[in-house]
Structure 1
């Protein structure tokens, strides 16, 4: 099976999928652009079609409301979109971080291209970090991703990464993720996004205060089972259970991760706590959940159903600790 990850560059430890070009720290944006496979442009062309008619060639027509997006390097088609579709170029995703890395202390850690160029991203460490009980280190990141096939708005997401297991979690307050989304019907304005993000990034201390609360909230066995059944099976443990429990395989796997098989599950911050419950789910989504490939799992964990499942787990854990 072809890799979903077209090309990728990274700094530091080899990513879990073992793909990509390793760079030394603090490389300029231009090097990242080349090594991450983002040194091409999205170009467009009118949509043409051939109608049936007498003769070998038929009649060629233009459909004026749509355009084809394609890669400048390989000429490979990417998608068909409306004429109003606002393209964000791969280099714009990296350029977003130029002043952040040169002035604000950010450091790019990964960048790459998914699905043949239909989706691309860059992830940078912000320099913020917190240590929970038992030397459980959590660092702050900023993920910027976009697509050119309509599957993802241009999205800037403050994200945490738990060092012991590389679990990722979107920063959320008041029950909602603090991502900034720019639909492709409007022009991407990086400075406006950074201005909005200033508020979200400044809320790091507030968010980590809540994570510390989770690490201090001890849970009983029945609370843990209720949490997993609610998050994974959409079942109320106080009600009669169905004859066949939906998503039972995931339930059993996450329970094992929580009870000692998960990376970092025996740390003081996680063992028998709401923080441990949350990280059992995030580890399952990021590393264990069934997927067509590791790359599809990554795409889901950051942008798809996996990301939604982690958000649901976060909300349930915060409710448990309230």
Structure 2
């Protein structure tokens, strides 16, 4: 007969739990010390290296300050089986989704794993009046054919662009039908979808002590809510959540978008021209980022760029002055962190401004969104692209002093 001392067993189990907690904390702190992640707010961190650079996550701690859970702020939909609506060719920081190592070229597989295997149709907008059901002649609802969920309200001429069409569009855009799909997923209940492929070229920011290597992707983002267009962007980050970031290259268009109409995705030549898919495009990006990385700037230069982006009038209210001071404080903190990695350069300034816009700047979420999902959806949809490009161009002027 085996006799178990419950007190001893409890003590041993507790010791194992504490050892495991210490190991998690030690590994986490080691990543911070190596400069792989950094804190950007209360219990919020940003990944600084690797494929998932720019991803944001939250760490929950117990009353003793020990790490209990690392929560990915992915903003992705959940499927009916409680898995995340994401396919990817390699694991992302958040460790979620269905992974096929090395990826696949099979569209059917990606449609199934990502949750994109549904069509969208339009149905008449009906309303009850005086005991009778009436139809709004110029208004329709977009509806998922698999669940019947309404996605948005559209006009009579609206033509849904199906998820499958996004895959075919990317194949025709690059002129290949054996492309490996990098990622695909759903946002906002299927109202937004994304699909991406990796380009063969890589971009190196070649400056002493940096040598950042950026892999370009082409991503399609489609909107089924009636509030957005079908669009294609060139991006240095594969979309594996709602966090992504686009190039800010002077005089180079990196986004092509079109309304949901019949034959919309047939305009491949126009899309190629607008996106500027060429080696010269990526060389220009590398040259400009390298020039920024080789340009030392003073804190006053950084503050001048910030003031250009967020001007403060002489007669501004106390509230606006407080907001300006808080923003500047946040930007200074991010800039200091970036300078530790790449020096006090224009490149560090650009990274600080981009990081602030993506992960720190206040966002007013819609009623159905959390602030984090509102923030990451805005990043995916390029809400701050103009401001990022303005900062990029302004900083480039400092390289020519």
TM normalised by structure 1 equals: 0.82
For the residue of structure 1 that corresponds to 2:157, the secondary structure is coil
Aligned match of 1:256: 333
Query: Mapping of 1:59-74 within 5 angstroms?
Result: 59-74=132-147
Aligned match of 2:391: 313
Cα distance, 1:317–1:183 mapped onto 2, change above 3 Å: farther
Task: Tell me which of 90, 98, 112 is aligned to 1:34.
Answer: 112
Q: Is the 8 A contact 1:68 1:79 kept in 2?
A: yes
Q: Is the 8 A contact 1:8 1:110 kept in 2?
A: yes
1:189 equivalenced with 2:265 (yes/no):
yes
Q: Which runs of 5+ in 1 are unaligned?
A: 53-57
Q: Is the 8 A contact 1:170 1:177 kept in 2?
A: no
After superposition, the CA RMSD in angstroms is 3.0
Instruction: State the alpha-carbon separation in 2 of the partners of residues 31 and 64 from structure 1.
Output: 39
For the residue of structure 2 that corresponds to 1:123, the secondary structure is strand
Q: Once the 2 structures are TM-superposed, how far is the Cα of residue 78 of structure 1 from its aligned partner?
A: 0.8
Q: Which runs of 5+ in 2 are unaligned?
A: 1-72, 78-84, 364-369
Cα distance, 1:266–1:177 mapped onto 2, change above 3 Å: farther
Q: Once the 2 structures are TM-superposed, how far is the Cα of residue 189 of structure 1 from its aligned partner?
A: 2.1
For the residue of structure 2 that corresponds to 1:168, the secondary structure is coil
Instruction: State the alpha-carbon separation in 2 of the partners of residues 84 and 207 from structure 1.
Output: 39
For the residue of structure 1 that corresponds to 2:349, the secondary structure is helix
Instruction: State the alpha-carbon separation in 1 of the partners of residues 192 and 335 from structure 2.
Output: 33
Instruction: State the alpha-carbon separation in 1 of the partners of residues 278 and 348 from structure 2.
Output: 24
How many residue pairs align between the two structures? 303
Instruction: State the alpha-carbon separation in 2 of the partners of residues 88 and 145 from structure 1.
Output: 11
Instruction: State the alpha-carbon separation in 2 of the partners of residues 198 and 118 from structure 1.
Output: 24
Q: Is the 8 A contact 1:36 1:112 kept in 2?
A: yes
Q: Once the 2 structures are TM-superposed, how far is the Cα of residue 254 of structure 1 from its aligned partner?
A: 2.1
Q: Once the 2 structures are TM-superposed, how far is the Cα of residue 140 of structure 1 from its aligned partner?
A: 1.3
- In terms of fraction of residues, the more strand-rich structure is 1
Q: Is the 8 A contact 2:229 2:260 kept in 1?
A: yes
For the residue of structure 1 that corresponds to 2:140, the secondary structure is strand
Aligned match of 1:285: 357
Range moving further from structure 2, 72-81 or 209-218: 209-218
Instruction: State the alpha-carbon separation in 2 of the partners of residues 216 and 106 from structure 1.
Output: 36
Instruction: State the alpha-carbon separation in 2 of the partners of residues 79 and 34 from structure 1.
Output: 23
Which structure has the greater CA radius of gyration?
A: 2
Range moving further from structure 2, 153-162 or 74-83: 153-162
Aligned match of 2:348: 276
1:213-271 residue CA offsets vs partner (Å, 9 max, x unmatched)? 1112211121011122322x3248xx7987524343332222111112x4xx433xx32
Q: Once the 2 structures are TM-superposed, how far is the Cα of residue 151 of structure 1 from its aligned partner?
A: 2.4
Aligned match of 1:296: 374
Aligned match of 1:55: none
TM normalised by structure 2 equals: 0.67
Q: Once the 2 structures are TM-superposed, how far is the Cα of residue 20 of structure 1 from its aligned partner?
A: 2.5
